[in-house]
């Protein structure tokens, strides 16, 4: 077990172990110890005693937010002389009420982990050598300059992270811009990019509409591709409370999950057939005339097209596609349209919740669109207990998405148009002088066009940008020659064999992470890798956005441990060496917050650091039912000031699109975002088929002077208080879209996965045509689906699907380095049905191979009825083995994780969402056999 | 009078392991030993339930009765504690306990090595694995941190109303549906 040791104290060289501490404090010498401490904790730290226990003398309790999922649970770090020695609950935290899952409660152990990377390391002649920060940064910066001058700025791929603070995420996107490239991306691409495209193209914003606490008011909670008991454990507090109050809880999933075990009803359906299931429900509702005609008429667009497509999904057709019996489907549709009265009586509404079970598909964007349309069909949006609750993954993936560490947009979803760049350059120019022309000059030209406006490579297929094969040539001046893996696990990306080759081919690979991770160990190469120890999120100040758009301030618990540095510091040092340091030098994290407060106008992230800290201090005033402060200095505000937060007086918007409360009190409406450019005029947005996109009694988006126009997005110094005082929503009052005329399918349409067990259905519901340029790389759909049409009869009879374990997070480098979590979940496995196990002669916990066209994994067999006899399930947090071979000896000494396993993403399918380039991980064909 | 107990609303346990990990962290319980653990019944099929299992600080502790050297004692506040210096590691309490709460850890290192084979179990966070000079007041960290508030621990007068509330359901009975 790790001893909690303070990193070498930089000034005095004193090391104190946690055990020494316990002993000394027990002897009553804590006061003397404070004299030894020379490293103070951050000045910005706010000290608040836990409600439960008064800390012992010399012990500080510091509030922080968990780093493991987007529920955003709070806790108190117990800090003794600069060392985090344990946790105390934050019992009046509005979201978690003190609760935390095993990942959260292991945080002290993870901060103090002995396997953290302790200094910059470089691989030389097959060996890892320790280098200084100066050497490392100089070498990296020189290589960046050389690659940029030889091959152009697009030959570096910047892979960023949802585990940075909002401030750092924002700077990371800005950093890529100053490096003259859009080849920047992060985990949102591979977790919820399809949610953002799907929701934003239906509702107008791409985020969770309601909140964790709001689910307490639901009459029916429908999970489709979500297993909160594993992936968002503390959210179950609110879901189970709703259930206690009489709500019905239904889980539809290919697997009988831990969440399904607690549900009122479980519906098993085939991986990759969500659209058929949902459209089948919609059809049955429409056939029975249960839908909300008022809502559709007043606030919807394109219902007829939707109805026409839905009509194809009769209960019998759905049964054939999805495995769900026609009668079950009818009941499900009935339940959706008639949620139990629960606590809201006649106004009872239902919400739909999902995570990667729905997003990680070739049709992911349309899965999410189908959910949004199902909700709109009943008018369940903009109401307490209703809405579309996308459960985001990482602790700050909502924030990182909002900051758009994404190759297709600048922060706040402005996109990459000249107008978008001018907006942001205008913001950046306030910090240090820069013009649009200077920015544009940094970018390369390709095919006669500046790449400043061209979407970059995505993290889901960045390796193709390196490999540049004849089959998948990269559409940019030169292939990628250098890659940064900055707070991003690589084993959460599919096609790992190709990625491994790419990691071997780049001229320099730079890993930045608290742990060495497989960025250090995966590539077979004697040199050309540098890994830098980043601080954890508990070693710095900053804000973090949970899935419910609630922004929370996180205080420094301890100073950076070992020789680690914050992501901000590393960016600033590199920027300085690259000649644009002034743009990345700030006096405090708060200064960065204020800078993005100014520019993040599309989603109005105007939560000032002062307001966030005040909310943290007075958190006890916020109610658990609606997260609103009923009294105290924050009275009227919603916890986390959920965006859009229009100005310094606005309470935040807890429920998106709720138009029955004033905008000034958190009301909202559908934006008038969808308009056909050729036919629309200010004040009169129309669809491609000429229909007005204004809601009944609605109005177009506004300039600050009240005239129609997009001024609310660009007028930096306006606070729109006058307009809001008239109860007008500056972003307009428009219509949601059943029919999205800019997407490959205007209305959600079932398409079989690339690898499907039903050759007959491939003929009927084929996937998309191949695409020549999908984020700079060709993408194959029909060709490979046709080639693999008979896979089910050619030795790959089972469907492979993947997912989460509660004990591990993402790629697992942190959690697999934690003793407690490894004790709970020590090895990689594949869940197989007892029938499958019997047919291949395998007993529980025997080793098996799971093989697909891509390769195979050696894992334990977990024999269970969670999966049926046509499905195999594997968790995706594992790495360190590659097709059965352990790579344990390839890590820098002492940095290998405590538990290793084969990575399922070696074998997942090479399919990608047609809109967002999300990788498909939930449906492909495999076989399982004895090791 | 204060009496400490646990009450588990098992319909709400999601087997997230939060209790297990915070107990390890707070009490420095070594790898391989657990003071609280989740037992899952009917895994993977309807009726699957998770049950947090630990010492229940019984009103009439059978372990206390079984201990041949009188190492186990129940305090006036209900907390059942073992005196690790008296314990001979015979295992009788393990036989007597209906929950298998007593643990006899092996393969210990560092300061814990002294307690090789000596009984350890939940102390309501009064003492860690390696007992210190002082006893803390009972503060069940596992209950305070429980994800879903299914594990209630503390003074029975405080937690019983919470337990009743958690069990009392809306008339649209989930009881029928569970
Ligand atoms: S991982 Fe999520 S549910 Fe678990 S403690 Fe952290 S924020 Fe809460
Ligand atoms: S009360 Fe304390 S010692 Fe007992 S199981 Fe819970 S955390 Fe562990
Ligand atoms: S913390 Fe609570 S919900 Fe989680 S496993 Fe323990 S008892 Fe169950």
- Do A809 and A716 share a domain, yes or no? no
**DSSP, residue by residue, B7-32:** EE-GGG-----HHHHHHHHHHTPPTT
We report the CATH number of the domain holding residue B75 as 3.30.70.20
The answer to whether the CB of A104 is under 6 A from ligand 1 is: yes
Spatial distance between the Cα atoms of A545 and A613, rounded to a whole number of angstroms:
14
Q: Name the residue facing B147 among A87, A237, A342 (closest C-beta).
A: A237
CA A447 to chain centre: 33
Spatial distance between the Cα atoms of A504 and A523, rounded to a whole number of angstroms:
5
CA A591 to chain centre: 25
Spatial distance between the Cα atoms of B151 and A508, rounded to a whole number of angstroms:
51
Backbone angles phi, psi at A75, to 5 degrees: -155, 170
Asked if A806 is an interface residue toward chain B (Cβ–Cβ < 8 A), one would say yes
Query: Which helix (H) or strand (E) segment is A797 a member of?
Result: none
The answer to whether the CB of A911 is under 6 A from ligand 1 is: no
Contacts of residue B149 in chain A, CB cutoff 8 Å?
97, 99, 237
Backbone angles phi, psi at A776, to 5 degrees: 75, 0
A residues 117-176 near B, CB within 8 Å?
none
| Interchain CB distance below 8 Å, B21 and A342 | no
Comparing A343-352, A389-398, B54-63, the range with the smallest average pLDDT is A343-352
Of A738, A771, A792, which marks where a domain is finished?
A738
Q: Name the residue facing A105 among B21, B170, B178 (closest C-beta).
A: B21
Domain count, chain A: 5
Spatial distance between the Cα atoms of A229 and A907, rounded to a whole number of angstroms:
26
Residue A881, pLDDT > 80, answer: yes
- Do A510 and A530 share a domain, yes or no? yes
C-alpha to C-alpha distances, A600 to A22, A128, A176, A557, A597, nearest whole angstrom: 46, 42, 18, 28, 6
Backbone angles phi, psi at A760, to 5 degrees: -65, -35
pLDDT digits (tens, 9 = 90+) for A303-346: 999 999 999 999 999 999 999 999 999 999 999 999 998 777 78
| Interchain CB distance below 8 Å, B24 and A820 | yes
* Spacing, Cα B125 to ligand 2 middle (Å): 5
If pLDDT is split at 50, 70 and 90, which confidence band does A22 have? very low
Q: Is A196 helix (H, G, I), strand (E, B) or coil?
A: helix
- Do A490 and A570 share a domain, yes or no? yes
The answer to whether the beta carbons of residues A930 and A842 sit under 8 Å apart is yes
The answer to whether the beta carbons of residues B4 and B57 sit under 8 Å apart is yes
Domain count, chain B: 1
If pLDDT is split at 50, 70 and 90, which confidence band does A6 have? very low
Alpha-carbon dihedral angle through residues A715, A718, A723, A724, given to the nearest 10 degrees: 110
- Residue B174 is predicted with a pLDDT of 43
- Could you tell me the two tokens for B139? 């503060």
Mean predicted lDDT score pLDDT of chain B:
93
pLDDT digits (tens, 9 = 90+) for A546-587: 999 999 999 999 999 999 999 999 999 999 999 999 999 999
| Interchain CB distance below 8 Å, A22 and B132 | yes
Q: Which ligand is nearest to the CA of B152?
A: 3
- Residue A744 is predicted with a pLDDT of 94
The answer to whether the beta carbons of residues A565 and A534 sit under 8 Å apart is yes
pLDDT digits (tens, 9 = 90+) for A805-826: 999 999 999 999 999 999 999 9
Of A335, A368, A391, which marks where a domain is finished?
A391
How does DSSP classify residue A28? T
* Spacing, Cα B142 to ligand 2 middle (Å): 6
Residue A167's contacts (CB-CB under 8 Å, 6 or more residues apart) are: A542, A543, A568, A589, A592, A593, A596
- Residue B72 is predicted with a pLDDT of 98
* Spacing, Cα B104 to ligand 3 middle (Å): 24
Query: Strands A871-875 and A798-803, how do they pair?
Result: parallel
- Do A177 and A318 share a domain, yes or no? no
Residue A620 resides in a domain: no
Top-confidence residue, A446 or B134: A446
The answer to whether the beta carbons of residues A64 and A554 sit under 8 Å apart is yes
Q: Name the residue facing A342 among B15, B146, B172 (closest C-beta).
A: B172
Q: Name the residue facing A100 among B111, B145, B169 (closest C-beta).
A: B145
The answer to whether the beta carbons of residues A174 and A578 sit under 8 Å apart is no
Listed residue (A248, A322, A250, A249) closest to A280, CA to CA: A322
Choice from B4, B17, B23, B154 to test ligand 2 binding pocket (greatest atom count within 8 A of CB): B23
How does DSSP classify residue A9? P
Mean predicted lDDT score pLDDT of chain A:
93
Spatial distance between the Cα atoms of A164 and A17, rounded to a whole number of angstroms:
28
**DSSP, residue by residue, A273-336:** -HHHHHHHHHHHHHHTT-S-HHHHHHHEE-HHHHHHHHTT--HHHHHHHHS--HHHHHHHHHHH
Asked if A22 is an interface residue toward chain B (Cβ–Cβ < 8 A), one would say yes
| Number of inter-chain CB pairs under 8 A, A vs B | 146
Residue A31, pLDDT > 50, answer: no
pLDDT digits (tens, 9 = 90+) for A271-307: 999 999 999 999 999 999 999 999 999 999 999 999 9
Residue A584 resides in a domain: yes
- Do A43 and A96 share a domain, yes or no? yes
Residue A736, pLDDT > 50, answer: yes
The answer to whether the beta carbons of residues A193 and A918 sit under 8 Å apart is yes
What residue has token string 């105290």?
A: A632
| Interchain CB distance below 8 Å, B149 and A89 | no
Q: Is A492 helix (H, G, I), strand (E, B) or coil?
A: coil
Residue A470 resides in a domain: yes
Q: Which ligand is nearest to the CA of B153?
A: 2
- Do A290 and A309 share a domain, yes or no? yes
The answer to whether the beta carbons of residues A729 and A667 sit under 8 Å apart is yes
- Residue A40 is predicted with a pLDDT of 31
pTM exceeding 0.90: yes
- Do A565 and A539 share a domain, yes or no? yes
Listed residue (B90, B98, B16) closest to B52, CA to CA: B16
- Could you tell me the two tokens for A454? 């061209």
**Other CB atoms within 10 Å distance of the CB of residue A529:** 25
- Do A686 and A771 share a domain, yes or no? no
The answer to whether the CB of B146 is under 6 A from ligand 3 is: yes
Average pLDDT for A169-184: 98
Q: Which ligand is nearest to the CA of A814?
A: 1
Q: Name the residue facing A98 among B132, B145, B172 (closest C-beta).
A: B145
If pLDDT is split at 50, 70 and 90, which confidence band does A4 have? low
Asked if A864 is an interface residue toward chain B (Cβ–Cβ < 8 A), one would say yes
Average pLDDT for A744-755: 97
> Length of chain A, please?
931
Q: Name the residue facing A109 among B12, B25, B48 (closest C-beta).
A: B25
Listed residue (B131, B117, B144, B113) closest to B36, CA to CA: B144
Listed residue (A619, A576, A523, A485) closest to A64, CA to CA: A619
Q: Relative to the CA of A395, which ligand 1 atom is closest?
A: 7
Choice from B18, B27, B137 to test ligand 2 binding pocket (greatest atom count within 8 A of CB): B27
- Residue B175 is predicted with a pLDDT of 43
Interface test mutation site (partner A, options B8, B18, B133, max chain A beta carbons within 10 A):
B18
Listed residue (A262, A223, A261) closest to A243, CA to CA: A262
Spatial distance between the Cα atoms of B23 and B38, rounded to a whole number of angstroms:
13
The answer to whether the CB of B125 is under 6 A from ligand 2 is: yes
Spatial distance between the Cα atoms of A105 and A394, rounded to a whole number of angstroms:
16
Q: Name the residue facing A341 among B24, B169, B172 (closest C-beta).
A: B172
The answer to whether the beta carbons of residues A738 and A295 sit under 8 Å apart is no
If pLDDT is split at 50, 70 and 90, which confidence band does A476 have? very high
The answer to whether the beta carbons of residues A462 and A481 sit under 8 Å apart is no
Interface test mutation site (partner B, options A51, A99, A221, A339, max chain B beta carbons within 10 A):
A99
Asked if A341 is an interface residue toward chain B (Cβ–Cβ < 8 A), one would say yes
- Could you tell me the two tokens for A407? 């190759």
Asked if A338 is an interface residue toward chain B (Cβ–Cβ < 8 A), one would say no
Distance (Å) from the alpha carbon of B157 to chain A's nearest alpha carbon: 17
Asked if A60 is an interface residue toward chain B (Cβ–Cβ < 8 A), one would say no
Residue B116, pLDDT > 70, answer: yes
Residue A635 resides in a domain: no
Q: Is A259 helix (H, G, I), strand (E, B) or coil?
A: helix
We report the CATH number of the domain holding residue A825 as 2.40.40.20
Q: Relative to the CA of A65, which ligand 1 atom is closest?
A: 7
Query: Which helix (H) or strand (E) segment is A160 a member of?
Result: none
Of A340, A358, A391, which marks where a domain is finished?
A391
Distance (Å) from the alpha carbon of B146 to chain A's nearest alpha carbon: 5
The answer to whether the CB of A100 is under 6 A from ligand 1 is: yes
What is the arrangement of strands in the sheet containing A83-89, beginning at the earlier edge strand?
A59-65, A74-80, A83-89
Residue A614 resides in a domain: no
Q: Which range marks the domain in which residue B72 is found?
A: 4-177
The answer to whether the CB of B130 is under 6 A from ligand 2 is: no
| Interchain CB distance below 8 Å, B11 and A266 | no
- Could you tell me the two tokens for A200? 């934003």
Residue A382, pLDDT > 70, answer: yes
C-alpha to C-alpha distances, A268 to A170, A368, A831, B77, nearest whole angstrom: 41, 19, 16, 49
Listed residue (A790, A752, A755, A787) closest to A768, CA to CA: A752
Quick one: closest CA in B to A264, which residue?
B177
The answer to whether the beta carbons of residues A147 and A378 sit under 8 Å apart is no
Contacts of residue A866 in chain B, CB cutoff 8 Å?
43-44
| Interchain CB distance below 8 Å, A109 and B174 | no
Choice from B13, B34, B54, B99 to test ligand 2 binding pocket (greatest atom count within 8 A of CB): B54
- Do A776 and A890 share a domain, yes or no? yes
Q: Which range marks the domain in which residue A470 is found?
A: 121-191+398-607
Average pLDDT for A228-244: 96
The answer to whether the beta carbons of residues B74 and B60 sit under 8 Å apart is no
- Residue A26 is predicted with a pLDDT of 32
Using N-to-C axis directions, what is the helix angle for A274-287 and A303-310, rounded to 10°?
A: 110
- Do A658 and A793 share a domain, yes or no? no
C-alpha to C-alpha distances, A293 to A298, A335, A891, nearest whole angstrom: 8, 18, 61
Backbone angles phi, psi at A597, to 5 degrees: -50, -35
| Interchain CB distance below 8 Å, B144 and A91 | yes
ipTM: 0.94
Quick one: closest CA in B to A867, which residue?
B44
**In chain A, pLDDT over 70 holds for what percent of residues?**
94
* Spacing, Cα B51 to ligand 3 middle (Å): 9
The answer to whether the beta carbons of residues B70 and B81 sit under 8 Å apart is no
- Residue A16 is predicted with a pLDDT of 36
- Residue A342 is predicted with a pLDDT of 74
Spatial distance between the Cα atoms of A637 and A622, rounded to a whole number of angstroms:
8
Q: How many CA atoms lie within 13 A of A88 on its CB side?
A: 21
The answer to whether the beta carbons of residues A229 and B12 sit under 8 Å apart is no
C-alpha to C-alpha distances, A192 to A172, A372, A454, A807, nearest whole angstrom: 19, 15, 22, 21
Residue A750 resides in a domain: no
- Do A205 and A337 share a domain, yes or no? yes
- Residue A23 is predicted with a pLDDT of 32
Average pLDDT for A181-198: 97
Spatial distance between the Cα atoms of B10 and A124, rounded to a whole number of angstroms:
55
Contacts of residue B30 in chain A, CB cutoff 8 Å?
1
Residue A51, pLDDT > 70, answer: no
Residue B172, pLDDT > 80, answer: no
Q: Which ligand is nearest to the CA of B39?
A: 3
Query: Which helix (H) or strand (E) segment is A518 a member of?
Result: helix A517-521
Spatial distance between the Cα atoms of A553 and A609, rounded to a whole number of angstroms:
7
The answer to whether the beta carbons of residues B45 and A260 sit under 8 Å apart is no
Average pLDDT for A242-253: 95
- Do A497 and A517 share a domain, yes or no? yes
């Amino acid at each position: 077990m790790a001893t909690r040791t303070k990193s070498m104290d930089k000034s005095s060289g004193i090391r104190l172990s946690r055990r020494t501490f316990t002993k000394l404090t027990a002897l009553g010498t804590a006061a003397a110890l404070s004299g030894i401490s020379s490293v103070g904790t951050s000045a910005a730290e706010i000290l608040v005693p836990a409600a439960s226990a008064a800390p012992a003398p010399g012990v500080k309790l510091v509030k922080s937010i968990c780093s493991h999922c987007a529920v955003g649970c709070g806790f108190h770090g117990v800090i003794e002389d600069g060392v985090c020695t344990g946790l105390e609950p934050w019992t009046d935290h509005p979201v978690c009420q003190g609760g935390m899952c095993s990942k959260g409660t292991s945080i002290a152990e993870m901060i103090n982990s002995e396997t953290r990377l302790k200094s910059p390391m470089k691989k030389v002649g097959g060996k890892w050598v320790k280098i200084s920060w100066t050497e490392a940064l100089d070498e990296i910066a020189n290589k960046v300059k050389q690659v940029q001058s030889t091959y152009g700025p697009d030959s570096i791929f910047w892979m960023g992270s949802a585990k940075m603070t909002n401030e750092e995420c924002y700077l990371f996107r800005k950093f890529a811009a100053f490096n003259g490239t859009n080849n920047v991306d992060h985990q949102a691409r591979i977790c919820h990019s399809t949610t953002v495209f799907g929701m934003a193209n239906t509702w107008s914003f791409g985020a969770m509409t309601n909140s964790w606490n709001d689910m307490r008011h639901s009459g029916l909670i429908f999970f489709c591709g979500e297993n909160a008991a594993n992936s968002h454990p503390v959210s179950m507090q609110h879901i189970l409370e709703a259930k206690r109050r009489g709500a019905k809880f239904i889980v539809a999933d290919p697997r009988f999950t831990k969440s399904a075990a607690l549900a009122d009803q479980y519906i098993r359906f085939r991986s990759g057939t969500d659209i058929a299931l949902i459209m089948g429900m919609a059809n049955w509702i429409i056939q029975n005339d249960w839908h909300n005609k008022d809502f559709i008429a007043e606030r919807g667009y394109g219902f007829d097209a939707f109805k026409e497509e839905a009509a194809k999904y009769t209960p019998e057709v759905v049964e054939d596609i999805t495995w769900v019996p026609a009668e079950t489907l009818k009941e499900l549709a009935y339940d959706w349209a008639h949620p139990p009265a629960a606590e809201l009586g006649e106004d009872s509404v239902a919400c739909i919740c999902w995570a990667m079970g729905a997003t990680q598909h070739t049709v992911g964007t349309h899965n999410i669109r189908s959910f949004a349309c199902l909700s709109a069909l009943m008018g369940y949006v903009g109401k307490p207990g209703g809405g579309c609750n996308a459960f985001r993954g990482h602790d700050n993936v909502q924030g990182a998405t909002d900051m758009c560490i994404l190759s297709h947009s600048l922060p706040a979803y402005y996109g990459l148009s000249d107008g978008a760049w001018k907006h942001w350059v205008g913001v950046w120019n306030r910090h240090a002088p820069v013009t649009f022309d200077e920015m544009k000059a940094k970018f390369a030209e390709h095919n006669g066009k500046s790449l400043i406006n061209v979407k970059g490579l995505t993290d889901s297929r960045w390796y193709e940008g390196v490999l540049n094969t004849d089959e998948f040539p990269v559409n940019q001046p030169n292939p990628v020659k250098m890659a940064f893996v900055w707070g991003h696990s690589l084993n959460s990306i599919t096609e790992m064999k190709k990625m491994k080759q790419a990691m071997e081919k780049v001229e320099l690979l730079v890993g930045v992470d608290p742990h060495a991770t497989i960025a250090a160990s995966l590539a077979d190469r004697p040199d050309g890798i540098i890994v830098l120890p980043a601080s954890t999120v508990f070693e710095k100040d900053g804000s973090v956005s949970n899935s419910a758009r609630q922004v929370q301030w996180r205080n420094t618990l301890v100073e950076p441990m070992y020789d680690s540095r914050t992501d901000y510091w590393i960016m600033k040092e590199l920027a300085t060496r690259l000649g644009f340091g002034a743009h990345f030098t700030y006096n405090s994290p708060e200064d960065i917050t204020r800078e993005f407060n100014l520019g993040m106008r599309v989603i109005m992230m105007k939560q000032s650091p002062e307001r966030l800290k005040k909310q943290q201090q007075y958190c006890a005033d916020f109610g658990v039912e609606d997260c609103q402060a009923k009294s105290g200095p924050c009275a009227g505000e919603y916890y986390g000031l959920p965006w859009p937060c229009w100005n310094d007086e606005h309470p935040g918007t807890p429920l998106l699109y709720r138009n029955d409360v004033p905008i000034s009190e958190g009301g909202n409406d559908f934006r008038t975002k969808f308009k056909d450019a050729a036919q629309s005029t200010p004040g009169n947005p129309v669809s491609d088929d000429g229909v007005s996109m204004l809601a009944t009694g609605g109005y177009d988006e506004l300039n600050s002077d009240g005239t129609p126009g997009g001024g609310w997005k660009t007028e930096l110094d306006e606070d729109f208080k006058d307009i809001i005082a008239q109860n007008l929503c500056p972003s307009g009052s428009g219509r949601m879209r059943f029919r999205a005329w800019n997407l490959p399918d205007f209305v959600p349409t079932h398409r079989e996965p690339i690898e499907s067990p039903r050759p007959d259905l491939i003929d009927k519901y084929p996937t998309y045509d191949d695409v020549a340029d999908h984020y700079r790389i060709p993408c194959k759909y029909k060709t490979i689906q046709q080639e693999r049409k008979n896979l089910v009869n050619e030795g790959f009879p089972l469907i492979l699907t993947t997912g989460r374990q509660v004990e591990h997070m993402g790629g697992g480098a942190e959690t697999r380095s934690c003793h407690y979590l490894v004790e709970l979940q020590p090895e990689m496995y594949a869940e197989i049905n007892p029938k499958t196990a019997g047919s291949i002669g395998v007993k529980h916990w025997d080793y098996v191979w799971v093989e697909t066209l891509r390769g195979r994994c050696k894992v334990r067999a977990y024999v269970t009825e969670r999966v049926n006899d046509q499905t195999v399930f594997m968790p995706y947090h594992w790495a360190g083995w590659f097709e059965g071979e352990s790579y344990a000896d390839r890590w820098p000494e002492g940095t290998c994780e405590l538990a290793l396993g084969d990575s399922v993403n070696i074998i997942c399918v090479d399919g990608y969402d047609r809109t967002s380039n999300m990788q498909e991980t939930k449906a492909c064909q495999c076989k399982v056999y004895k090791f | 009078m204060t009496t400490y107990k646990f009450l588990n609303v098992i319909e709400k346990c999601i087997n997230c392991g939060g209790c297990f990990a915070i107990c390890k962290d707070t009490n420095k319980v070594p790898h391989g030993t657990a003071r609280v653990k989740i037992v899952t019944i009917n895994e993977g099929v309807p009726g699957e339930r998770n049950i947090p299992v630990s010492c229940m600080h019984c009103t009439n502790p059978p372990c206390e009765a079984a201990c041949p050297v009188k190492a186990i004692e129940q305090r006036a506040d209900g907390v059942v504690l073992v005196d690790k210096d008296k314990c001979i590691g015979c295992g009788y309490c393990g036989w007597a306990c209906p929950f298998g709460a007593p643990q006899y850890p092996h393969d210990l290192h560092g300061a814990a090595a002294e307690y090789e084979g000596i009984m350890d179990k939940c102390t309501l966070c009064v003492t860690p694995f390696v007992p210190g000079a002082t006893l803390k007041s009972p503060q069940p960290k596992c209950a305070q941190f429980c994800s879903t508030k299914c594990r209630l621990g503390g003074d029975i007068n405080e937690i019983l109303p919470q337990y009743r509330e958690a069990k009392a359901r809306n008339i649209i009975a989930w009881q029928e549906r569970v």
